[in-house]
Amino acid sequence: MKKLVVLFLVLAVIVVIPAVQSAFAAGAEPGEYLDRRVVIWNLFFKMMTIAFVVGAVVSGTMIWQCWRFRESHPKAKPTAYEGTDW
């Protein structure tokens, strides 16, 4: 549970810091403006990267579970809740 909280905290920091930075962005010279298209693309790219990584981890976990708990696995035994005695 603690690792999950840390993961969500890291993801929140990755999202919040660029958003706050662009919200308070000001150039050194008056007349320097923020190109919003670049900032929006940067945030989109970061979020898509995070989404692909999370998706890959979830997919990998599901594949591992299906492979580990398949019926033909040598160590697979019915649980007490399944009502069979081996």
Q: Are 66 and 49 in contact (CB under 8 A)?
A: no
Task: Write the single-letter amino acid at 67.
Answer: W
- Measured distance CA(38)–CA(19) in Å, rounded: 13
What is the three-state SS of 45-84?
Answer: HHHHHHHHHHHHHHHHHHHHHHHHCCCCCCCCCCCHHHCC
Q: Are 60 and 68 in contact (CB under 8 A)?
A: no
Dump pLDDT digits (tens) for 7-52.
888 888 887 887 777 667 666 666 667 778 888 898 899 899 999 9
pLDDT at 21: 73
Q: Global pTM?
A: 0.53
